[in-house]
Amino acid sequence: MNGFSFMMLLVIFVPLVIVLAITPYLVRRTECFGVSIPSDVFDRAELKAMRKKFAWTNLMFGVLCAAITFSFPNQLAWLAPVAITSYLVFHFIVYLRFHFQMKKLKEMSNWLDTKKQAIVIDLEFQNKRPIVSNMWYLIGGFFTLATVVCTFVFYDRIPETIPMQYDFQGNVTTTATKSIGSVLFLPVVQLVMLLIFLFVNMIIARSKQQLDPNEPEISAEQNLIFRRRWSLFTVWLGHGMVLLFTVIQCSFIFTIDLVWLTTLTSILVGGSLIGAVLLAISTGQGGSRIRNSSNESVDKINRDDDHYWKLGTFYFNPDDPALWLEKRFGVGWTANLARPLIWLIFIGVLALAFLPFLFI
């Protein structure tokens, strides 16, 4: 295993294991393993023990997967994807165990009997600029246009055989014959990525509000910070990826040292994953980890809608007009799978992702 392949696997697998293992600590205080709870029971001893056990179980299995993978460096090409997939499956199975345990505990404890259920909405929320302006994506559009112009200006310098895919060792595994379509492959990928990141930014802005009825003003401010941070990260990541593909396209035309190119790729991939982990830890789901000084007692809770969350993960509510909302378990957003429009959007995004391959 060379240094590059080791580093790439390390920067992908380690942040993945860390963020998934500590997920129970990142969610809102009103949720635990996909089950809604009053925030004042979040720190109870039995719930703390469950979170700790979940984290250590996932961390130990992650270390085991990494150890097995690194023990067979010559089989890295197929063993790394198998290890990552195995860990994801294991993580979900462990989550389900704790989810059903949490549901049973909630039924036995009757936590909701003394609480008033309520829904709070901030009608001025969208006027408070929850995201970075979409106009920033024009910069990525400029890089994409510059890549296209550079490609055609120096078309004669592009080799007749173009590398299209590399393995973990940096070896070329797929090539394409030079043509108008093949040289436009990466610029089209840039365009598709920009559109997807732009769409994600719109989801961040328009997703359903989830405010604490006990502290609506504080939770609204936390949620604004949460959305703005992830929106800024999305813009930064989108432009980083577009710039990387510009450099890769230029490597077909100009002499660019492979070591420099792989180093740039490693920095971008590793920096993005580490940045996402740090952002998740510092902000939490919905801004739950942003400090506040409120000491109010909890007499109201969000409406108990556990029956709409299948396995605590998949939201299915045909009566809810919202298309997007925050995840119950994890950091980020998910979809209301009961809305037909969501499935059309999924199909559209999938078709958009396959668009670049039509050029080769």
81 against 97, higher pLDDT: 97
- Print the domain residue range for 126: 3-359
pLDDT in tens, 225-269: 999 999 999 999 999 999 999 998 988 888 887 778 777 887 888
Phi, psi of 172 (to 5 degrees): -70, 125
Residue 1 scores a pLDDT above 60: no
pLDDT, average across residues 216-223: 87
Count: domains in the chain: 1
pTM of structure: 0.88
Task: Give the pairing type, strands 309-310 and 314-315.
Answer: antiparallel
H or E segment and range at residue 153: helix 137-153
CA distances to 74, 149, 243 from 153, in Å: 41, 6, 19
Residues 6+ apart with CB under 8 A from 360: 164, 176, 181, 182, 185
R_g of the chain computed on alpha carbons: 23
Q: Tokens for 84, please give them.
A: 């990552």
Give the amino acid at 33.
F
The length of the chain in residues reads 360
Q: How confident is the model at residue 62 (pLDDT cuts 50, 70, 90)?
A: very high
For residue 170, the model assigns a pLDDT of: 57
Percentage above 90 pLDDT, the chain: 53
DSSP-derived secondary structure for 210-257:
---TTSHHHHHHHHHHHHHHHHHHHHHHHHHHHHHHHHHHHHTTS---
d(CA 186, CA 248): 8
DSSP secondary structure code for residue 319 in this structure: T
List strand residue ranges (DSSP E) for the chain, in order: 31-32, 35-36, 116-118, 161-166, 172-177, 300-302, 309-310, 314-315, 324-326, 333-335
Residue 15 scores a pLDDT above 70: yes
pLDDT in tens, 116-174: 777 778 778 888 889 999 999 999 999 999 999 999 999 999 888 887 766 555 566 77
pLDDT, average across residues 269-280: 88
For residue 295, the model assigns a pLDDT of: 46
For residue 346, the model assigns a pLDDT of: 94
Task: Assess contact for 232 and 134: CB atoms under 8 A.
Answer: no
Residue 21 scores a pLDDT above 70: yes
For 39-48, 53-62, 69-78, which range has the lowest pLDDT when averaged over its residues?
A: 69-78
Q: How confident is the model at residue 91 (pLDDT cuts 50, 70, 90)?
A: very high
d(CA 188, CA 345): 20
Average pLDDT, the chain: 87
Q: How confident is the model at residue 55 (pLDDT cuts 50, 70, 90)?
A: very high
Among 10-19, 83-92, 210-219, the range with the most confident prediction by mean pLDDT is: 83-92
